[in-house]
Amino acid sequence: MSPAVEFRAVSRHFGPVKAVDAVDLTIAEGAFFAMLGPSGSGKTTCLRLISGFEQPSYGQIRIFGEDVSAVPPHLRNVNTVFQDYALFPHMNVRDNVAYGLMVKGMGRAARHAKAEAMLDLVKLDGYGGRKPAQLSGGQRQRVALARALVGEPRVLLLDEPLGALDLKLREAMQDELKSLQRRLGITFVFVTHDQGEALSMADSLAVFHNGKIAQIGTPSQIYTQPATRFVADFVGSSNLLPPALTASLGGPPKWSSLRPEALHLAQSAAPGPALTGTVQGQRYLGLGTRVTLAVQGTEIAAFLPAGTQVPPEGAPITLTFAPAALHVIDAE
Amino acid sequence: MRSEASWPLRIAALAGLLFLHLPILLIFLYAFTTDERTFTFPPPGLTTQWFAVAWNRADIWPPLMLSLQVALFSTLLALVLGTLVAAAMSGARFFGRDQLSLLIVLPIALPGVITGIALRSAIPMLHLNFGWQTIVLGHATFCIVIVYNNAVARFRRLSGGILEASADLGANAFQTFRYILLPNLGTALLAGGMLAFALSFDEVIVTTFTAGTGAASKTLPIWMLDELIRPRQRPVTNVVAMVVFATTFLPILLAYYLTREGSETAGSGK
């Protein structure tokens, strides 16, 4: 079985800017795949390469095994939920959702029935007669989702789908998108700059950096075994230890990462490696306290769970961790 | 906060308004006067006979029809070309774009005599004979600008996303034009078209330079100019002026209301 989406050495250059630079990527059918990266990292361009609004400068893109180089956007069996939703302002919600069926020549009654069923699915039954301007942000998002799904695409692309929603709505939509994807079995590819969103929703994700993929893997792989310093820093804001410090903790003389929550306040006679320094600052976060300390000139952050007796600022502190938590970064 | 204008300023504003609009009211008044040779004030008597006289005058109808015909064709030409230019300009980003945009709107700022003389010398070079078609060409130079200005403003407010969304959902270029672009552009084009029609209908200067000789090239405004020199049946001109006023003012008024609405950006909004 061929993968849903396949990039073979794909580049997209805008003049001297290499927005996407020799990217190889395979997205399995039925996956919930995230493209994560800061703005300008090439993730949105990759999404537009799949939808067909951008053409690769070099390389080949395959969708279900078919080379789509010569296939314009409107003939690709791929639909997009746009970042600003891009609902048609002059049409009501029902006609918006039915638009894809209408342009393919489906009769009025049939397409309206399908549109209403799809509105049901996204919990917007009864809203068919309204205009997009009369809806809230969350409702517009659902309309955009219904409109993209009604044509039964094999791949659904989502461009920062939750970016415009407030925090509470965003969390509810994360769960809903996830369950929707499971129920429909469609391949979802979504772009986000929010690492928490990518980690919690995706089956697998690609971290983009400067037009290249820094790492592909499952959320736990990306989180616990970052392949590069960038990934370690961008995903979950890990501690980056320079080679000398890594060596002093018993590792090879290379960069390494150490998650803040892997550090524990040392008990009197705890075995294993330890970091000793002075407390520089602390921030209470409810679930625990984030403590920063200086060790050999490197700032280290530790997340100590609630209930821990945190030494005051300026006091000495010793932190221990399981040797396996120290992840050595092999790549430069 | 509302601030009160000072008394001298109010009087000046009122005087300005009267200066602009009293002559128009006078035109209407003299359409009903019983005096057919001179415009004396106050009119010696009031009558509606000039409407019947104007209706029966055979020499009014050909200029009226010609003016309508010219306005119609130059508006159609402007609608097609102006929209295309606006579509191209709003989609493009290139060096010199602002300068080119200025060049496009320049014809409306140029004095009519310049446009007129330029066309007068350019048209024979194309081996065209002066006639109603050349008047259409002349009027199209400024009608395009009107349509362009209206269309380009609407294109700017249209979020580019909805055109992409249409393609994404499977619509071909024609379907996107028909179902998405045209409905969102419609009122702007209607407004631009009506303004262009009104401008063309009462244009004199460019018309004089691009019209041929002979009665078949005499538009209604030019007929009116000629008529003022004649000593008899003067109120007929005023009756015609009222018709011109109605055919130009109503479209302008409608255009104003059409473009005033829908000020929110189409397709944006989260």
Q: Is the pLDDT of residue A95 over 80?
A: yes
Token pair for B100: 């080119």
Neighbouring residues of B45: CB distance < 8 A, sequence distance ≥ 6 = B33, B34, B35
Read off the pLDDT of residues A73-92 as tens digits, 9 standing for 90 and up: 999 999 999 988 999 998 99
Of B9 and A271, the structure prediction assigns the larger pLDDT to: B9
Torsion angles phi and psi, residue A292, rounded to 5: -110, 140
What's the CATH number of domain A238-328, 3.90.1150.10, 3.40.50.970, 2.40.50.140, 1.10.150.170? 2.40.50.140
Of B164, B170, B266, the CB nearest to A151: B170
The whole-number pLDDT of residue B2 equals 58
In a domain, B31, yes or no: no
Q: Which residue from B164, B269, B120 is spatially nearest to A139, judged by alpha carbons? A: B269
Distance from CA of B169 to the nearest CA of A (A): 5
Mean pLDDT of chain A: 89
Q: Which domain holds residue B152?
A: 59-260
Residues of B whose CB is below 8 A from A85: 161, 270
The whole-number pLDDT of residue B6 equals 86
In a domain, B34, yes or no: no
* Beta carbons of A82 and B161 less than 8 Å apart: yes
Residues of B whose CB is below 8 A from A137: 270
DSSP letter string over B181-210? IHHHHHHHHHHHHHHHHHHHHT--HHHHHH
Q: What is the DSSP letter of B6?
A: P
Residues of A whose CB is below 8 A from B179: 99, 102-103
Please report, for chain A, the start and end positions of each structural domain, with discontinuous segments joined by +. Answer: 5-233, 238-328
Query: What is the pairing mode between strands A274-284 and A288-295?
Result: antiparallel
Q: Is the pLDDT of residue A287 over 60?
A: yes
Residue type, position A173, single letter: M
Of B168, B264, B267, the CB nearest to A79: B168
Which 3 state secondary structure label does DSSP give A12? strand
- Chain B residue with Cα closest to A81: B165
Confidence of residue A117 (pLDDT cuts 50, 70, 90): very high
- Chain A residue with Cα closest to B172: A74
Same fold yes or no, A5-233 and A238-328: no
The whole-number pLDDT of residue A118 equals 93
Residues of A whose CB is below 8 A from B165: 80, 82, 86-88, 147
Give domain A5-233's CATH superfamily: P-loop containing nucleotide triphosphate hydrolases (3.40.50.300)
Read off the pLDDT of residues A311-324 as tens digits, 9 standing for 90 and up: 888 888 888 888 88
Residues of A whose CB is below 8 A from B261: none
The whole-number pLDDT of residue B74 equals 94
Query: What is the pairing mode between strands A187-192 and A32-36?
Result: parallel
List, for chain B, all residue ranges whose pLDDT scores fall below the cut of 70.
1-3, 159-160, 215-216, 231, 259-270
Confidence of residue A296 (pLDDT cuts 50, 70, 90): confident
Round to whole Å and give the CA distance between A35 and A207.
6
Partner residues linked to A327 by β-bridges: A257
Of B159, B162, B171, the CB nearest to A103: B171
The whole-number pLDDT of residue B261 equals 53
How large is the ipTM?
Answer: 0.82
Token pair for B108: 């409306």
The whole-number pLDDT of residue B168 equals 93
